[in-house]
Amino acid sequence: MKHISLLFLLVGLSISAMAQEIVIDTSYYAPPPVVRKRVLTDDPDQNPNHHRLSTRREKSTYEQAYQLKETQTWYVGLDGGFRTDGSMLSNSFDGLISINSSTKASWSVLLGYTYRNAWTVETGYTSAPIHLNITIANGARPLTYNYQNSGYGIPLRIKRRIGLASRATNGTGFWLTAGAWLIPNGSVNLDDFRLIGYSYRNNRTRTDTLRLDNTTTTKSISGVAELGIDYSVRLSSSIEFGAYFRKYWGLGEAIRSDIVYTVNGIAQPQSTATANGTGWGFGIALRYIYGRQQEVKNHNQ
């Protein structure tokens, strides 16, 4: 048994030695290690500018292909300025009577509708009194009598855009305007005057007795026609600024004053002074666009 155990021990050692001899060291033949370059960049999902740039690119691309075009707008506006209105006199009685024109402030509150930035219709309330001013010569201190109607009107105005700016995408540009007012004249200050005076010779001897009798009336309703030009500029998507210049023609008499002149009890040809609103007007306007309808226009079509 001892010989058999010794035999197995020798065989095991020889096998172990052979196993150690066949182990091959492959480290010499191993390929060199791969060196990887690590580059870190910002996560686009964590960069807010990335979304902004993407949005801008998308918007720019969209705008190149499409454009929003206004088709209808609704606005409320306020304008103010100055208006002149003159009067007419049929007989001055050799310079005894004269009339004067007036220049007064005026203002309006208006509602408007614009179609395709080419046509506009507006209406509202206008405060622009019609005046009749009569002056009686009285040496160095003339007598003045001023009459005025109710002071308001209801205009209806149509505008048409003209000129090179008519191709603009908003209301900027020049507009040709035309319209008419309905004027309820109401009652005036019926301060009728009755004057008596005397004419003298060089020696202060009285020769003639002069008398003036006046009666002033108004018509219940009259009108005014207008023609003008406006300029408008869009300050923002909702605010518009404008300026206007207009010519007015009276339609019918608003205020009428009949003056009877007598000399020594003998009636002279009667004189009539009238005012109908004929004159000029200019001012500025501010409008707020509270409603808008748009259509998408494809440039590729």
Domain hosting residue 168, numbered range: 65-188+221-247+276-298
Bridge partner residues of 146 (DSSP): 133
| Share of residues in the chain with pLDDT > 70 (%) | 71
Whether residue 132 contacts residue 257, with contact meaning beta carbons closer than 8 Å, is answered with yes
Q: Indicate whether 282 belongs to any domain.
A: yes
d(CA 23, CA 68): 81
Q: What is the pLDDT of residue 39?
A: 53
d(CA 18, CA 56): 76
Tokens of 114: 């614009």
Q: What is the pLDDT of residue 161?
A: 93
Q: What is the pLDDT of residue 5?
A: 54
Other beta carbons within 10 angstroms of residue 136's beta carbon come to: 18
Q: Indicate whether 267 belongs to any domain.
A: no
pTM (2 d.p.): 0.73
pLDDT at 116 over 60: yes
Q: What is the pLDDT of residue 24?
A: 47
Q: What is the pLDDT of residue 18?
A: 47
Model pLDDT for residues 90-101, shown as the tens digit of each residue:
999 888 899 988
pLDDT at 106 over 60: yes
Q: What is the pLDDT of residue 243?
A: 97
Q: What is the pLDDT of residue 17?
A: 47
Model pLDDT for residues 133-175, shown as the tens digit of each residue:
999 988 788 999 999 998 899 999 999 999 865 556 677 899 9
Q: Indicate whether 4 belongs to any domain.
A: no
| Share of residues in the chain with pLDDT > 90 (%) | 47
Model pLDDT for residues 33-92, shown as the tens digit of each residue:
555 555 555 555 555 565 555 555 555 555 555 667 788 999 999 999 999 998 999 999
Sign of CA dihedral 137, 143, 149, 153: positive
Query: How would you list the strands of the sheet with 143-148, edge to edge?
Result: 97-100, 131-136, 143-148
Locate tokens 């009686």: which residue? Answer: 136
Q: What is the CATH number of the domain that holds 77?
A: 2.40.160.20
d(CA 110, CA 96): 43
Q: What is the pLDDT of residue 56?
A: 59
Q: What is the pLDDT of residue 140?
A: 83
Higher-confidence residue of 255 and 11: namely 255
Model pLDDT for residues 283-300, shown as the tens digit of each residue:
999 999 999 888 776 655
Q: Indicate whether 134 belongs to any domain.
A: yes
Q: Burial of 259 by CB count in 10 Å (0-12 exposed, 13-18 middle, 19+ buried)?
A: buried
Locate tokens 């009666």: which residue? Answer: 215
Number of domains in the chain: 1
Q: Indicate whether 117 belongs to any domain.
A: yes
Q: Indicate whether 29 belongs to any domain.
A: no
Whether residue 75 contacts residue 240, with contact meaning beta carbons closer than 8 Å, is answered with yes
Q: What is the mean pLDDT of the chain?
A: 81
Q: Indicate whether 24 belongs to any domain.
A: no
pLDDT at 19 over 50: no
Q: Indicate whether 131 belongs to any domain.
A: yes
pLDDT at 266 over 80: yes
